[in-house]
Amino acid sequence: MTRFALTIEFDGGPFFGLQRQDNGPSVQQAIEDAAHAVTGEEVTLHSAGRTDSGVHALAMRSHLDIAKDITPFRLMEALNAHLRPDPVAIIACEEKPDDWHARFSCIGRSYEYRIRNRRAPLTLEKGRAWHIARPLDHDAMHEAAQALVGQHDFTTFRSAHCQAASPVKTLDRLDVSREGDAVIVRAAARSFLHHQVRSMVGTLALVGQGQWQVGQVAEALAAKDRAALGLNAPPEGLYFVGARYEDEE
């Protein structure tokens, strides 16, 4: 049995999320079905993160165990052939030790949220960015975001359906920058609560539009109450960017 680590890129639009679902298609099911077609084996895909319906990935890290004698390159090519026409691609594949785990060995995860800030409607990026027509003050958003960096109780920014044992997380980075009419929010932490990034971005967008003052984000955090949340950003602007592992540092 060989453990293969996969790096996966996908468009989350057609899926009900990364994890296998009872009520619709998932990225996990697509890859597991492709692996079965290649190897004839029933395999389980384990991933570094969980993504909701509509959320995308630039480089999700996952693993699966396969008994068939196959090289990483051949496995990657075969999986990609069977994944077509689903918008899922294996962009890297390598062998890992049996004790390496895509989720439990991960020491850091990073996300990017893309906002397109312009009057004109989206065409090429429809379903892949949050369209906000009202002007955004990205500097105010970045200033407000710094109140969330560090270790905090993120109950305010946590989904009511979150299954994490504790609302306390350490946010390593939350930066807001502008590139033309694109406003990009970049977040990094060891792990995140369910909807944490989308909740933080939605609230920061209220600051950017002048509906909230900069200091209100810190007040919402201190409230430790989901009712104090400003806004939950839609899923289509969110991307899983990458995962960090000690053996790859």
What CATH number corresponds to the domain at position 90? 3.30.70.580
Q: Is 52 a catalytic residue?
A: yes
Q: Which letter does DSSP use for residue 108 in this model?
A: E
Number of domains in the chain: 2
Same domain, 211 and 136: yes
Provide CB contacts within 8 A for 38, sequence distance 6+: 68, 70, 75, 78, 79, 82
Q: Which domain holds residue 43?
A: 2-104
Where among 84, 104, 124 does a domain terminate?
Answer: 104
The pLDDT score that the predictor gives to residue 125 is 96
Where among 104, 132, 161 does a domain terminate?
Answer: 104
The pLDDT score that the predictor gives to residue 22 is 82
Same domain, 49 and 114: no
Strands, E assignment, 138-181? 150-153, 168-179
Same domain, 151 and 190: yes
Placement of tokens 């099911």 in the chain:
29
Where among 82, 104, 126 does a domain terminate?
Answer: 104
Q: Which of 52, 65, 153, 172 is catalytic?
A: 52
pTM: 0.95
Same domain, 139 and 73: no
Same domain, 84 and 111: no
The pLDDT score that the predictor gives to residue 133 is 97
215 within 8 A of 179, measured Cβ to Cβ: no
Same domain, 69 and 146: no
What is the distance between the alpha carbons of residues 207 and 201, in angstroms, rounded to a whole number? 10
3-state secondary structure of 101: coil
Same domain, 138 and 221: yes
The pLDDT score that the predictor gives to residue 113 is 98
The pLDDT score that the predictor gives to residue 186 is 98
Same domain, 79 and 30: yes
Tokens of 30: 């697509």
- The dihedral region occupied by 96, where left means phi > 0, alpha psi between -120 and 50, and beta the remainder, is beta
Same domain, 72 and 124: no
What CATH number corresponds to the domain at position 228? 3.30.70.660
Same domain, 53 and 142: no
Reading the chain (249 residues) residue by residue, the pLDDT tens digits are 999 999 999 999 999 999 998 889 999 999 999 999 999 999 999 999 989 999 999 999 999 999 999 999 999 999 999 999 999 999 999 999 999 999 999 999 999 999 999 999 999 999 999 999 999 999 999 999 999 999 999 999 998 888 888 999 999 999 999 999 999 999 999 999 999 999 999 999 999 999 999 999 999 999 999 999 988 999 999 999 999 999 887
The pLDDT score that the predictor gives to residue 163 is 82
The pLDDT score that the predictor gives to residue 21 is 85
Same domain, 37 and 141: no
Same domain, 155 and 224: yes
